[in-house]
Amino acid sequence: MSEQPKFKVTIDNITIEVPAGTTILNAARMIGGDVTPPAMCYYSKLEGSGGKCRTCLVEVSKGSEKDPRPMPKLVASCRTTVMDGMEVKNITSDKVLDARKGVVEMLLINHPLDCPVCDQAGECHLQDLSYEHGASGTRYEFDRRTFEKEDIGEYIQLHMTRCILCYRCVFTADQLTNKREHGILERGDHAEISTLLGKSLDNEFIGNVIDVCPVGALTDKTFRFKNRVWFTKPVDAHRDCPTCSGKVRLWMRGDEVFRVTARKDKWGEVEEWICNDCRFHKKEVKDWVIEGPSRIDRHSVISQGHYVDTVKQPVYIDRVIGKNPKLLLDIHKVSDVNRPDVDLSKIEGPAHSDDFKKNKDN
């Protein structure tokens, strides 16, 4: 047990040595970059996850050094462990790319195209996946499945139509909380995430299901419709929290904290779980110690408009003319958007028409 044998595995012609028992997906993640298969249901921090969405299918062109026959079918890389001398083809195999395109089409069959309304847009894994691997049109002509709306508590909004049944939230509730209150009910096309008999999810770590959800099926109700993620600025911050690590990412606009999430690594997985108190109740800058702007991949839409390492040029016009120049237009005097007297982030749920009316009278 102390001496773990090392296996040599070649993925897309890149060879790496990994400990025995590593899955192909994790070996590919050690290499990183384009050879990593996408994963919608696998989550390295959740035991037992994976094997459901089939987006991580790869071709094994050589089983191992001892048995060099290829595997007959494409295998799910998150559930297949490496063998010594195994050769795997991911993006170099047309079969894999074709199968992945089919899987994306299957995932999108019942997924509503409501990205303009969905709060996950911009950080949605299904959006990225279908952009990279999917077809631009659908061949499905029937009505998409619909569900009755279910209220699962005051903090989490469930949109069952968007769910791809990855089971991540079920594993999260199982492994983080002592009593799971939601699960998958029914079978087949009727399968849905639900709490039996309309219970609400109120465990103090249940907010993490929002972060693990790869699509917009579980979203933060306190952030609902407040802003688009790419207009808020992610900032790493921490606080002394008695229940969790307190290491979070704040999504800010100006001095307002619009949303608090856990920090995510480059695979979109949570680094450290955070508690509901940090996530839903600490929406003020003074609650947090700010560490600095988060690293965001520059290909992500979230990095738009965030100019890092820019030096503001000093303006000398006031010294030349001996006074501050007259401001010709104070935008806040004219504009109704982002008014200093309206704090959208302080409203409990999503804003409604009367929230704006009420503020106009004041």
Nearest approach, Cβ of 283 to other proteins (angstroms)? 17
Whichever of 311 and 337 has its CB closer to other proteins, that residue is 337
- 98 interacts with other proteins by CB under 8 A: no
Task: Mark residues 121-140: x for contact with other proteins by CB under 8 A, - for none.
Answer: x-------------------
d(CA 236, CA 249): 5
Nearest approach, Cβ of 163 to other proteins (angstroms)? 17
Task: Mark residues 1-40: x for contact with other proteins by CB under 8 A, - for none.
Answer: ----------------------------------------
- 343 interacts with other proteins by CB under 8 A: no
DSSP characters over 148-201: ------SSEEE-GGG-----HHHHHHHHHSSS--EEEES-GGG-EEEEGGG---
- What three-state secondary structure class fits 220? strand
Whichever of 106 and 351 has its CB closer to other proteins, that residue is 351
Nearest approach, Cβ of 245 to other proteins (angstroms)? 32
d(CA 75, CA 99): 11
Nearest approach, Cβ of 100 to other proteins (angstroms)? 25
- For the chain, how are helix, strand and coil distributed in percent, rounded to 5? 25, 20, 55
Q: Which stretch binds other proteins (CB under 8 A): 32-40, 260-268, 310-318, 326-334?
A: 326-334
- 267 interacts with other proteins by CB under 8 A: no
- 331 interacts with other proteins by CB under 8 A: yes
d(CA 163, CA 194): 11
Which residue type sits at 278? C
Q: Which stretch binds other proteins (CB under 8 A): 51-59, 112-120, 166-174, 268-276?
A: 112-120
Backbone phi, psi, residue 245, to 5°: -70, -25
| Closest to 88 measured CA to CA, from 4, 6, 8 | 8
**Would you state the structure tokens that stand for residue 132, as one six-digit string?**
């990279």
* Contact (CB, 8 A) for 219 and 157: yes
- 253 interacts with other proteins by CB under 8 A: no
- 105 interacts with other proteins by CB under 8 A: no
Task: Determine the angle formed by the axes of helices 94-109 and 125-133, rounding to 10 degrees.
Answer: 130
Q: Which stretch binds other proteins (CB under 8 A): 66-74, 171-179, 291-299, 331-339?
A: 331-339
Element (H, E) at 81: none
Contacts 24+ apart (CB under 8 A), 245-249: 245/272, 245/273, 245/274, 246/274, 246/278, 247/271, 247/272, 247/274, 248/274, 248/278, 248/279, 248/288, 249/294
- 335 interacts with other proteins by CB under 8 A: yes
**Would you state the structure tokens that stand for residue 28, as one six-digit string?**
């590919």
Q: Which stretch binds other proteins (CB under 8 A): 124-132, 164-172, 190-198, 219-227?
A: 219-227
Nearest approach, Cβ of 36 to other proteins (angstroms)? 27
Task: Mark residues 223-242: x for contact with other proteins by CB under 8 A, - for none.
Answer: -xxxxx-xx-----------
Task: Mark residues 290-309: x for contact with other proteins by CB under 8 A, - for none.
Answer: -----------x--xx----
- Report the interface residues with other proteins, using CB under 8 A: 114-117, 121, 224-228, 230-231, 301, 304-305, 328-329, 331, 333-338, 344, 349-356
